Amino acid sequence: MTVGGVNRHFYGMGVSMKLLKSISLFVLYPLCMLGLGFYAGVETSHFFYPGEQEENSSPFSGGLPVVTPKPKDVPEQETEPVPVTDDRLDYGVVMDEPENPDGEAEEVSFTAETLCVDTEYVLEETDVLYHTVVETIWRLPDKYVGMNRDQFLKAMEVYESFPPLSELERGFVGLEVLAFSRERVVVQMNYKYVQPSSSFYLAAYDNKVVVYLEDKRTVYIETEIQLDSLPFEIQESIMDMMWIENEEKLYDFLENYSS
């Protein structure tokens, strides 16, 4: 091989190396840029979505995946309902607010209606001997306003046990509540009306003078005349049931000794 051929050979190798180097740079540069872009994308994803990597990662223990259970939501503690005092009545009645199964509040309904100033107060005066009835409508007494059925029945029981003297003088023997509502309450007043009497008897009860009819059993009048305030002779007569001839003499006696 001649010297000129050697030179051409080395010259051809130099050209090939330059060409190879150019091609390598042309290929490696895009690959490097692609790798850097991929790396930058991964790092950016970690920066902006730090929790996503943890959720997608599956830790292994002994070659098997370990599932980490998510904590369950702890239900809030329910508070017990507090009894509510209903102030619509002035009798200290405490009522609990009822609730339906859906948890929605329902309107409170009373087991019994209450009386008001507009309630009709109907009295049926019944003669138990002759079975006659006289009905009268009155204004409801103020002491009964606001009462429910149970309270009104108790009040009637007290009235029946301790009726006024004026009612006893009329022959009152008992009562019965026939109807009860907010609009109307009906009370049957039973009387064994005192029959006319031509003569009377005076007796003493609890140191007070009591007037009986001629049958000596039916009370006609319970007076407030104290027995010990009368003259001694009259006291003795009354202790033996003093006889009064007629109604005129009876009222003369009552007017003379009533204080």
pLDDT(7) > 60: no
pLDDT in tens, 129-154: 888 999 999 999 999 999 999 999 99
pLDDT(159) > 60: yes
CB 179 within 8 A of CB 124: no
Please give the single-letter amino acid code of residue 63: G
pLDDT of residue 221: 86
pLDDT(111) > 60: no
Token pair 């009798």: residue: 91
At residue 120 the predicted structure's pLDDT band, cuts being 50, 70 and 90, is very high
Q: Of 208 and 98, which is predicted with more confidence?
A: 208
Please give the single-letter amino acid code of residue 258: S
pLDDT in tens, 233-259: 999 999 999 999 998 999 899 989 886
Q: Of 220 and 229, which is predicted with more confidence?
A: 229
pLDDT(62) > 60: no
pLDDT in tens, 16-55: 566 556 656 666 667 777 777 777 776 766 666 655 555 4
> HEC string of the chain?
CCHHHHHHHHHHHHHHHHHHHHHHHHHHHHHHHHHHHHHHHHHHHHHHCHHHHHHHCCCEECCEECCCCCCCCCCCCCCCCCCEECCCCCCCCEECCCECCCCCECCCCCCCCCCCCCCEEEEEEEECCCCEEEEEEEECCHHHCCCCHHHHHHHHHHHHHCCCHHHHHHCEEEEEEEEECCCEEEEEEEECCCCCCCCEEEEEECCEEEEEECCCCCEEEEEEEEHHHCCHHHHHHHHCCEEECCHHHHHHHHHHHCC
Stated pTM of the model? 0.39
Q: Of 70 and 88, which is predicted with more confidence?
A: 70
Q: What is the mean pLDDT of the chain?
A: 75
pLDDT of residue 76: 53
Cα distances from 48 to residues 37, 43, 54, 56, 123, in angstroms, run 16, 9, 13, 15, 88
Backbone angles phi, psi at 87, to 5 degrees: -95, 10
Q: What percent of the chain has pLDDT over 70?
A: 58
What would you measure as the largest C-alpha separation in the chain, in angstroms?
Answer: 189
pLDDT of residue 51: 54
* Other C-beta atoms lying within 10 Å of the C-beta of residue 221: 18
pLDDT of residue 77: 54
Residue among 189, 172, 174, 89 at smallest CA distance from 138:
189
In whole angstroms, give the CA distance from residue 135 to residue 138: 10
CA atoms within 13 A on the CB side of 173: 12
Query: Residue range 165-176: average pLDDT?
Result: 88
In whole angstroms, what separates CA 114 from the centre of its chain? Answer: 14
